[in-house]
Amino acid sequence: MNTHKHHESTGSADEQQITLRSPAELADSLPYLLGFHPNDSVVMVALHGDRGRFGGRLRLGIPRSPREWPPVAEQLAECLIEGSERRGPRPSGVVAFLCQDPAPGETGRQVMERLRPLAQRLRTACGRLDVPVHEVLCISDGRFWSYCCPDTRCCPPEGTGLALPGTSVMAAAAAYAGVQVRGSLRDMEARLEPWNTPAAEEQERALDNAGAALVPRILSGGNRKGVAEETLKLARGLMGRLERAPGTGTVAQDTEDDALITHEEAAAVILGLQDRETRDRAAEWMEGTDAAPALRLWRALSRRCVGPYTEHATAPLTLAGWVAWSTGDEPSARVALGLALRLDPGYVFAQLLHQACNEGLDPEALRRCLRAERDTRAVPGSCRRGGGSSGRAVAARPPSGPRRPKAPRVPARTGPRAGVRTARDRAGRRGGERGSRSGR
Protein backbone atom coordinates (compact mmCIF):
# COMPACT_ATOMS: atom_id res chain seq x y z
CA MET A 1 0.00 0.00 0.00
CA ASN A 2 1.22 3.51 -0.80
CA THR A 3 1.45 5.12 2.64
CA HIS A 4 2.20 8.66 1.48
CA LYS A 5 -0.35 10.95 3.13
CA HIS A 6 -1.99 13.88 1.38
CA HIS A 7 -3.69 16.84 3.02
CA GLU A 8 -6.43 19.00 1.55
CA SER A 9 -8.13 22.09 2.92
CA THR A 10 -11.88 22.04 2.44
CA GLY A 11 -11.94 25.80 2.07
CA SER A 12 -14.10 26.40 5.12
CA ALA A 13 -13.76 29.45 7.26
CA ASP A 14 -11.60 27.71 9.85
CA GLU A 15 -9.45 26.06 7.13
CA GLN A 16 -10.36 22.56 8.24
CA GLN A 17 -7.92 20.02 6.82
CA ILE A 18 -8.35 16.33 6.20
CA THR A 19 -5.78 13.61 5.64
CA LEU A 20 -6.09 11.09 2.83
CA ARG A 21 -4.24 7.95 3.84
CA SER A 22 -4.85 5.46 1.03
CA PRO A 23 -5.33 5.18 -2.73
CA ALA A 24 -9.05 4.58 -2.06
CA GLU A 25 -9.45 7.88 -0.22
CA LEU A 26 -7.39 9.62 -2.88
CA ALA A 27 -9.62 8.23 -5.66
CA ASP A 28 -12.78 9.27 -3.80
CA SER A 29 -11.44 12.82 -3.37
CA LEU A 30 -11.04 13.58 -7.07
CA PRO A 31 -14.52 15.08 -7.76
CA TYR A 32 -14.07 17.40 -4.79
CA LEU A 33 -10.64 18.53 -5.97
CA LEU A 34 -12.06 19.56 -9.35
CA GLY A 35 -15.68 20.36 -8.53
CA PHE A 36 -16.99 17.75 -10.99
CA HIS A 37 -16.51 14.14 -12.02
CA PRO A 38 -13.96 14.13 -14.87
CA ASN A 39 -14.58 11.98 -17.94
CA ASP A 40 -11.91 10.93 -20.42
CA SER A 41 -9.36 13.04 -18.56
CA VAL A 42 -5.84 13.08 -17.23
CA VAL A 43 -5.66 15.05 -13.98
CA MET A 44 -2.46 16.08 -12.20
CA VAL A 45 -2.25 17.61 -8.72
CA ALA A 46 0.84 19.20 -7.18
CA LEU A 47 1.86 18.28 -3.62
CA HIS A 48 3.76 20.58 -1.26
CA GLY A 49 5.78 20.00 1.88
CA ASP A 50 6.40 16.95 3.99
CA ARG A 51 2.69 16.48 4.61
CA GLY A 52 1.80 16.44 0.91
CA ARG A 53 -0.54 19.47 0.91
CA PHE A 54 -2.52 19.72 -2.33
CA GLY A 55 -1.61 22.64 -4.57
CA GLY A 56 -2.17 23.44 -8.22
CA ARG A 57 -4.10 21.04 -10.40
CA LEU A 58 -4.76 20.69 -14.11
CA ARG A 59 -6.95 18.57 -16.36
CA LEU A 60 -6.71 17.64 -20.03
CA GLY A 61 -8.64 15.28 -22.23
CA ILE A 62 -6.76 12.02 -22.84
CA PRO A 63 -5.33 12.12 -26.38
CA ARG A 64 -6.83 9.41 -28.54
CA SER A 65 -3.59 8.48 -30.26
CA PRO A 66 -0.86 6.92 -28.08
CA ARG A 67 1.65 8.69 -30.32
CA GLU A 68 0.57 11.94 -28.69
CA TRP A 69 1.13 10.71 -25.15
CA PRO A 70 4.89 11.44 -24.83
CA PRO A 71 4.74 15.13 -25.82
CA VAL A 72 1.49 15.68 -23.89
CA ALA A 73 3.01 14.16 -20.75
CA GLU A 74 6.03 16.45 -21.07
CA GLN A 75 3.81 19.51 -21.54
CA LEU A 76 1.56 18.64 -18.61
CA ALA A 77 4.50 18.09 -16.27
CA GLU A 78 6.11 21.38 -17.29
CA CYS A 79 2.84 23.31 -17.02
CA LEU A 80 2.03 22.00 -13.54
CA ILE A 81 5.50 22.34 -12.07
CA GLU A 82 6.47 25.65 -13.66
CA GLY A 83 3.03 27.11 -12.94
CA SER A 84 3.39 26.13 -9.28
CA GLU A 85 6.79 27.81 -9.15
CA ARG A 86 5.35 31.04 -10.53
CA ARG A 87 2.82 31.09 -7.69
CA GLY A 88 5.12 29.93 -4.89
CA PRO A 89 7.29 26.98 -3.93
CA ARG A 90 8.23 24.18 -6.26
CA PRO A 91 6.07 21.05 -5.78
CA SER A 92 7.59 18.30 -3.67
CA GLY A 93 5.55 15.66 -5.50
CA VAL A 94 2.64 14.93 -7.83
CA VAL A 95 -0.39 12.64 -7.88
CA ALA A 96 -2.14 11.86 -11.15
CA PHE A 97 -5.42 10.32 -12.26
CA LEU A 98 -6.42 8.73 -15.57
CA CYS A 99 -10.21 8.68 -15.91
CA GLN A 100 -11.87 6.95 -18.85
CA ASP A 101 -15.00 4.85 -19.29
CA PRO A 102 -14.64 1.53 -21.12
CA ALA A 103 -15.41 1.41 -24.82
CA PRO A 104 -18.10 -1.05 -25.98
CA GLY A 105 -16.85 -4.56 -25.27
CA GLU A 106 -14.01 -3.30 -23.06
CA THR A 107 -13.62 -3.77 -19.30
CA GLY A 108 -12.30 -1.32 -16.75
CA ARG A 109 -9.22 -3.47 -16.24
CA GLN A 110 -8.52 -3.39 -19.97
CA VAL A 111 -8.77 0.41 -19.88
CA MET A 112 -6.23 0.43 -17.06
CA GLU A 113 -3.79 -1.73 -19.04
CA ARG A 114 -4.30 0.30 -22.21
CA LEU A 115 -3.49 3.54 -20.38
CA ARG A 116 -0.50 2.14 -18.50
CA PRO A 117 2.05 3.60 -20.98
CA LEU A 118 0.52 7.05 -20.45
CA ALA A 119 0.84 6.65 -16.68
CA GLN A 120 4.50 5.73 -17.12
CA ARG A 121 5.06 8.73 -19.41
CA LEU A 122 3.65 11.05 -16.74
CA ARG A 123 5.94 9.58 -14.11
CA THR A 124 9.07 9.88 -16.22
CA ALA A 125 8.16 13.41 -17.41
CA CYS A 126 7.89 14.62 -13.81
CA GLY A 127 10.99 12.67 -12.85
CA ARG A 128 13.03 14.51 -15.47
CA LEU A 129 12.08 17.70 -13.66
CA ASP A 130 13.16 16.17 -10.32
CA VAL A 131 9.61 15.97 -8.98
CA PRO A 132 8.50 12.46 -7.96
CA VAL A 133 5.06 11.08 -8.75
CA HIS A 134 3.77 9.45 -5.58
CA GLU A 135 0.65 7.90 -7.10
CA VAL A 136 -1.09 7.41 -10.43
CA LEU A 137 -4.63 6.03 -10.31
CA CYS A 138 -6.78 4.78 -13.15
CA ILE A 139 -10.53 5.27 -12.57
CA SER A 140 -12.86 3.38 -14.88
CA ASP A 141 -16.25 1.72 -14.68
CA GLY A 142 -16.76 2.58 -11.01
CA ARG A 143 -13.42 1.08 -9.91
CA PHE A 144 -9.86 2.25 -9.49
CA TRP A 145 -6.39 0.74 -9.96
CA SER A 146 -3.03 1.97 -8.70
CA TYR A 147 -0.06 2.03 -11.09
CA CYS A 148 2.30 2.59 -8.15
CA CYS A 149 1.13 0.35 -5.31
CA PRO A 150 2.39 -3.26 -5.58
CA ASP A 151 0.43 -4.51 -2.55
CA THR A 152 -2.44 -6.65 -3.85
CA ARG A 153 -4.09 -6.60 -0.41
CA CYS A 154 -5.15 -2.96 -0.86
CA CYS A 155 -4.85 -2.67 -4.66
CA PRO A 156 -5.94 -6.02 -6.15
CA PRO A 157 -5.56 -6.77 -9.88
CA GLU A 158 -9.34 -6.66 -10.39
CA GLY A 159 -9.44 -3.13 -9.00
CA THR A 160 -11.30 -1.66 -6.05
CA GLY A 161 -14.80 -0.23 -6.13
CA LEU A 162 -15.21 3.47 -5.49
CA ALA A 163 -17.07 4.53 -2.37
CA LEU A 164 -20.76 5.28 -2.71
CA PRO A 165 -21.36 8.99 -3.45
CA GLY A 166 -21.38 11.06 -0.29
CA THR A 167 -19.90 8.38 1.99
CA SER A 168 -16.15 9.12 1.85
CA VAL A 169 -14.19 11.20 4.33
CA MET A 170 -13.69 13.87 1.65
CA ALA A 171 -17.42 13.95 0.90
CA ALA A 172 -18.24 14.53 4.57
CA ALA A 173 -15.69 17.33 4.88
CA ALA A 174 -16.83 18.93 1.61
CA ALA A 175 -20.48 18.83 2.71
CA TYR A 176 -19.52 20.50 5.98
CA ALA A 177 -17.64 23.21 4.08
CA GLY A 178 -20.42 23.73 1.51
CA VAL A 179 -18.32 22.48 -1.44
CA GLN A 180 -20.49 21.25 -4.31
CA VAL A 181 -19.81 18.67 -7.01
CA ARG A 182 -21.60 19.75 -10.19
CA GLY A 183 -22.02 16.34 -11.78
CA SER A 184 -19.84 14.94 -14.54
CA LEU A 185 -17.66 16.87 -16.94
CA ARG A 186 -19.75 15.44 -19.76
CA ASP A 187 -22.92 16.86 -18.20
CA MET A 188 -21.34 20.29 -17.75
CA GLU A 189 -20.11 20.39 -21.34
CA ALA A 190 -23.51 19.29 -22.65
CA ARG A 191 -25.06 22.47 -21.24
CA LEU A 192 -22.78 24.55 -23.47
CA GLU A 193 -22.75 22.53 -26.68
CA PRO A 194 -24.70 23.43 -29.84
CA TRP A 195 -28.30 22.40 -30.21
CA ASN A 196 -28.95 19.05 -31.82
CA THR A 197 -32.68 19.53 -32.34
CA PRO A 198 -34.96 20.47 -35.25
CA ALA A 199 -34.74 24.09 -34.05
CA ALA A 200 -31.05 24.13 -35.00
CA GLU A 201 -31.88 24.57 -38.69
CA GLU A 202 -34.05 27.58 -37.91
CA GLN A 203 -31.23 29.06 -35.87
CA GLU A 204 -28.78 28.44 -38.71
CA ARG A 205 -31.04 30.29 -41.14
CA ALA A 206 -31.25 33.20 -38.71
CA LEU A 207 -27.45 33.30 -38.51
CA ASP A 208 -27.26 33.27 -42.31
CA ASN A 209 -29.65 36.20 -42.54
CA ALA A 210 -27.94 38.16 -39.77
CA GLY A 211 -24.57 37.69 -41.44
CA ALA A 212 -25.89 38.91 -44.77
CA ALA A 213 -27.19 42.04 -43.06
CA LEU A 214 -24.34 42.81 -40.65
CA VAL A 215 -21.18 42.03 -42.59
CA PRO A 216 -21.68 44.70 -45.32
CA ARG A 217 -22.29 47.28 -42.61
CA ILE A 218 -19.08 46.34 -40.79
CA LEU A 219 -16.99 46.21 -43.96
CA SER A 220 -18.15 49.71 -44.91
CA GLY A 221 -16.08 50.99 -41.98
CA GLY A 222 -18.30 53.77 -40.72
CA ASN A 223 -21.00 51.47 -39.38
CA ARG A 224 -18.78 49.24 -37.23
CA LYS A 225 -19.35 51.30 -34.11
CA GLY A 226 -23.07 51.35 -34.76
CA VAL A 227 -23.18 47.56 -35.02
CA ALA A 228 -21.28 47.31 -31.72
CA GLU A 229 -23.74 49.60 -29.94
CA GLU A 230 -26.71 47.67 -31.34
CA THR A 231 -25.16 44.37 -30.24
CA LEU A 232 -24.55 45.57 -26.70
CA LYS A 233 -27.98 47.16 -26.41
CA LEU A 234 -29.66 43.96 -27.55
CA ALA A 235 -27.51 41.84 -25.22
CA ARG A 236 -28.34 44.13 -22.29
CA GLY A 237 -32.04 43.80 -23.11
CA LEU A 238 -31.78 40.00 -23.20
CA MET A 239 -30.02 40.03 -19.83
CA GLY A 240 -32.91 42.00 -18.38
CA ARG A 241 -35.36 39.50 -19.82
CA LEU A 242 -33.46 36.60 -18.28
CA GLU A 243 -33.09 38.38 -14.96
CA ARG A 244 -36.85 38.74 -14.68
CA ALA A 245 -37.23 34.97 -15.10
CA PRO A 246 -36.37 32.82 -12.06
CA GLY A 247 -32.97 31.17 -12.21
CA THR A 248 -32.38 27.70 -10.81
CA GLY A 249 -29.01 26.82 -12.33
CA THR A 250 -30.37 23.55 -13.75
CA VAL A 251 -30.73 21.98 -17.18
CA ALA A 252 -34.44 22.81 -17.00
CA GLN A 253 -33.51 26.47 -16.66
CA ASP A 254 -31.40 26.23 -19.80
CA THR A 255 -34.49 25.15 -21.75
CA GLU A 256 -36.49 28.03 -20.30
CA ASP A 257 -33.71 30.50 -21.13
CA ASP A 258 -33.58 29.24 -24.71
CA ALA A 259 -37.31 29.90 -25.06
CA LEU A 260 -36.85 33.53 -23.97
CA ILE A 261 -34.45 34.36 -26.82
CA THR A 262 -35.56 34.38 -30.45
CA HIS A 263 -33.42 32.94 -33.23
CA GLU A 264 -32.96 36.42 -34.72
CA GLU A 265 -31.89 37.97 -31.41
CA ALA A 266 -29.39 35.20 -30.74
CA ALA A 267 -27.95 35.47 -34.25
CA ALA A 268 -27.45 39.24 -34.03
CA VAL A 269 -25.60 39.07 -30.70
CA ILE A 270 -23.50 36.03 -31.69
CA LEU A 271 -22.23 37.75 -34.83
CA GLY A 272 -21.73 41.07 -33.05
CA LEU A 273 -19.55 39.40 -30.40
CA GLN A 274 -17.09 38.26 -33.07
CA ASP A 275 -15.74 41.81 -32.94
CA ARG A 276 -13.07 41.92 -30.25
CA GLU A 277 -13.85 45.37 -28.86
CA THR A 278 -17.55 44.52 -28.61
CA ARG A 279 -16.68 41.30 -26.78
CA ASP A 280 -14.37 43.17 -24.41
CA ARG A 281 -17.10 45.63 -23.51
CA ALA A 282 -19.50 42.75 -22.90
CA ALA A 283 -16.90 41.30 -20.51
CA GLU A 284 -17.60 44.25 -18.20
CA TRP A 285 -20.84 42.53 -17.09
CA MET A 286 -18.88 40.39 -14.66
CA GLU A 287 -20.11 41.22 -11.17
CA GLY A 288 -23.00 42.39 -9.03
CA THR A 289 -26.49 42.07 -10.46
CA ASP A 290 -25.09 41.80 -14.01
CA ALA A 291 -23.16 38.58 -13.48
CA ALA A 292 -25.93 35.98 -13.18
CA PRO A 293 -28.01 37.08 -16.22
CA ALA A 294 -24.85 37.63 -18.26
CA LEU A 295 -23.67 34.10 -17.53
CA ARG A 296 -27.06 32.69 -18.52
CA LEU A 297 -26.98 34.71 -21.75
CA TRP A 298 -23.46 33.61 -22.75
CA ARG A 299 -24.34 29.99 -22.09
CA ALA A 300 -27.53 30.27 -24.12
CA LEU A 301 -25.70 31.88 -27.04
CA SER A 302 -23.06 29.14 -26.98
CA ARG A 303 -25.83 26.61 -27.52
CA ARG A 304 -27.13 28.58 -30.51
CA CYS A 305 -23.86 28.41 -32.49
CA VAL A 306 -25.04 25.58 -34.72
CA GLY A 307 -23.94 24.00 -38.00
CA PRO A 308 -21.17 25.94 -39.77
CA TYR A 309 -21.30 28.56 -37.02
CA THR A 310 -19.94 26.24 -34.33
CA GLU A 311 -16.66 28.16 -34.04
CA HIS A 312 -18.57 31.37 -33.34
CA ALA A 313 -19.25 29.90 -29.88
CA THR A 314 -15.66 30.73 -28.91
CA ALA A 315 -16.61 34.29 -27.93
CA PRO A 316 -19.67 33.50 -25.75
CA LEU A 317 -17.90 30.48 -24.24
CA THR A 318 -14.96 32.68 -23.26
CA LEU A 319 -17.30 35.26 -21.77
CA ALA A 320 -19.10 32.49 -19.85
CA GLY A 321 -15.76 31.28 -18.53
CA TRP A 322 -14.75 34.79 -17.53
CA VAL A 323 -17.97 35.52 -15.62
CA ALA A 324 -17.86 32.13 -13.90
CA TRP A 325 -14.27 32.74 -12.80
CA SER A 326 -15.05 36.30 -11.72
CA THR A 327 -17.89 35.06 -9.51
CA GLY A 328 -15.85 32.27 -7.91
CA ASP A 329 -17.05 29.26 -9.90
CA GLU A 330 -13.68 27.97 -11.07
CA PRO A 331 -14.86 24.49 -12.16
CA SER A 332 -17.46 25.96 -14.53
CA ALA A 333 -14.94 28.52 -15.74
CA ARG A 334 -12.40 25.85 -16.66
CA VAL A 335 -15.01 23.82 -18.54
CA ALA A 336 -16.24 26.79 -20.59
CA LEU A 337 -12.73 28.03 -21.38
CA GLY A 338 -11.62 24.51 -22.25
CA LEU A 339 -14.45 24.22 -24.78
CA ALA A 340 -13.53 27.61 -26.24
CA LEU A 341 -9.94 26.50 -26.75
CA ARG A 342 -11.10 23.21 -28.21
CA LEU A 343 -12.89 25.21 -30.91
CA ASP A 344 -10.06 27.69 -31.45
CA PRO A 345 -6.72 26.88 -29.72
CA GLY A 346 -5.36 30.27 -30.81
CA TYR A 347 -8.08 32.39 -29.18
CA VAL A 348 -5.88 34.60 -27.02
CA PHE A 349 -8.48 35.86 -24.55
CA ALA A 350 -9.49 32.27 -23.70
CA GLN A 351 -5.85 31.15 -23.52
CA LEU A 352 -4.89 33.80 -21.01
CA LEU A 353 -8.03 33.46 -18.90
CA HIS A 354 -7.60 29.68 -18.79
CA GLN A 355 -3.98 30.03 -17.72
CA ALA A 356 -4.81 32.61 -15.06
CA CYS A 357 -7.68 30.52 -13.70
CA ASN A 358 -5.55 27.37 -13.56
CA GLU A 359 -2.73 29.20 -11.82
CA GLY A 360 -5.05 30.45 -9.09
CA LEU A 361 -4.65 34.15 -9.89
CA ASP A 362 -7.10 36.68 -8.48
CA PRO A 363 -9.61 37.91 -11.11
CA GLU A 364 -9.89 41.24 -9.27
CA ALA A 365 -6.97 42.70 -11.24
CA LEU A 366 -8.85 42.24 -14.51
CA ARG A 367 -12.09 43.44 -12.95
CA ARG A 368 -10.36 46.69 -11.91
CA CYS A 369 -9.12 47.27 -15.44
CA LEU A 370 -12.53 46.63 -16.98
CA ARG A 371 -14.15 49.00 -14.48
CA ALA A 372 -11.55 51.66 -15.33
CA GLU A 373 -12.20 51.36 -19.05
CA ARG A 374 -15.95 51.58 -18.46
CA ASP A 375 -15.46 54.68 -16.32
CA THR A 376 -13.21 56.23 -18.96
CA ARG A 377 -15.85 55.82 -21.64
CA ALA A 378 -18.40 57.46 -19.38
CA VAL A 379 -16.38 60.71 -19.31
CA PRO A 380 -17.61 63.05 -22.10
CA GLY A 381 -14.99 63.65 -24.75
CA SER A 382 -12.69 60.88 -23.50
CA CYS A 383 -11.15 58.39 -25.90
CA ARG A 384 -9.89 54.95 -25.17
CA ARG A 385 -6.13 54.56 -25.36
CA GLY A 386 -4.62 51.58 -27.10
CA GLY A 387 -2.24 49.25 -25.34
CA GLY A 388 -4.34 46.72 -23.48
CA SER A 389 -4.00 47.91 -19.87
CA SER A 390 -6.07 45.02 -18.58
CA GLY A 391 -3.82 42.56 -20.38
CA ARG A 392 -0.76 44.05 -18.74
CA ALA A 393 -2.43 43.88 -15.34
CA VAL A 394 -3.19 40.16 -15.23
CA ALA A 395 -1.97 38.72 -18.54
CA ALA A 396 -5.56 37.75 -19.18
CA ARG A 397 -6.57 39.93 -22.08
CA PRO A 398 -5.12 40.64 -25.52
CA PRO A 399 -3.80 44.12 -26.30
CA SER A 400 -6.21 46.62 -27.81
CA GLY A 401 -3.90 48.70 -29.94
CA PRO A 402 -4.68 50.00 -33.42
CA ARG A 403 -5.58 47.38 -35.94
CA ARG A 404 -7.49 47.05 -39.16
CA PRO A 405 -11.15 46.25 -38.46
CA LYS A 406 -12.34 42.83 -39.52
CA ALA A 407 -15.83 41.55 -40.02
CA PRO A 408 -17.29 38.51 -38.36
CA ARG A 409 -16.81 35.36 -40.39
CA VAL A 410 -19.88 34.00 -42.11
CA PRO A 411 -20.09 31.12 -44.56
CA ALA A 412 -19.36 32.29 -48.08
CA ARG A 413 -22.20 32.91 -50.54
CA THR A 414 -21.77 32.98 -54.31
CA GLY A 415 -24.00 33.02 -57.33
CA PRO A 416 -27.51 34.29 -57.85
CA ARG A 417 -28.81 32.66 -54.66
CA ALA A 418 -26.44 34.47 -52.30
CA GLY A 419 -27.80 34.33 -48.79
CA VAL A 420 -29.58 31.02 -49.41
CA ARG A 421 -27.94 27.85 -48.08
CA THR A 422 -28.49 24.52 -49.70
CA ALA A 423 -27.90 21.10 -48.20
CA ARG A 424 -24.76 20.84 -50.33
CA ASP A 425 -23.54 24.19 -48.97
CA ARG A 426 -24.01 23.03 -45.41
CA ALA A 427 -22.32 19.71 -46.05
CA GLY A 428 -19.35 21.46 -47.61
CA ARG A 429 -18.92 23.81 -44.70
CA ARG A 430 -19.24 21.03 -42.16
CA GLY A 431 -16.53 19.18 -44.00
CA GLY A 432 -13.92 21.43 -42.44
CA GLU A 433 -13.70 24.61 -44.53
CA ARG A 434 -12.69 27.43 -42.23
CA GLY A 435 -12.61 31.20 -42.52
CA SER A 436 -11.12 33.93 -40.39
CA ARG A 437 -12.68 35.65 -37.44
CA SER A 438 -11.82 38.90 -35.70
CA GLY A 439 -12.59 37.92 -32.11
CA ARG A 440 -9.13 37.05 -30.90
CATH number, residue 85:
3.40.140.10
Considering the domain architecture, whether residues 211 and 167 belong to the same structural domain is answered as no
* Spans in the chain with pLDDT lower than 50: 1-4, 8-14, 385-408, 410, 412-439
146 and 214 co-located in one domain = no
Are 44 and 125 found together in one domain?
yes
Residue 218 has a pLDDT of 76
Does 144 share its domain with 265?
A: no
Q: Are residues 63 and 168 in the same domain?
A: yes
Q: Of 140, 157, 184, which one is at a domain's C-terminal end?
A: 184
Domain coverage including residue 379? 191-430
Q: For residues 119 and 239, state if they share a domain.
A: no
**In a shared domain, residues 247 and 396:** yes
pLDDT of residue 17: 67
As for how many domains the chain has, the answer is: 2
pLDDT at 43: 94
Same domain as 51, residue 26? yes
What's this model's pTM, rounded to 2 decimal places?
0.71
Specify the pLDDT at position 84. 87
| Boundary of a domain, candidates 149, 184, 219 | 184
For residues 117 and 209, membership in a common domain is answered with no
**In the listed set 166, 184, 202, which residue is the last one of a domain according to the structure?**
184
Q: Are residues 395 and 360 in the same domain?
A: yes
Q: List the strands of the sheet with 93-99, edge to edge.
A: 17-20, 6-9, 53-61, 41-48, 93-99, 133-140, 143-146, 160-161
1 belongs to a structural domain: no
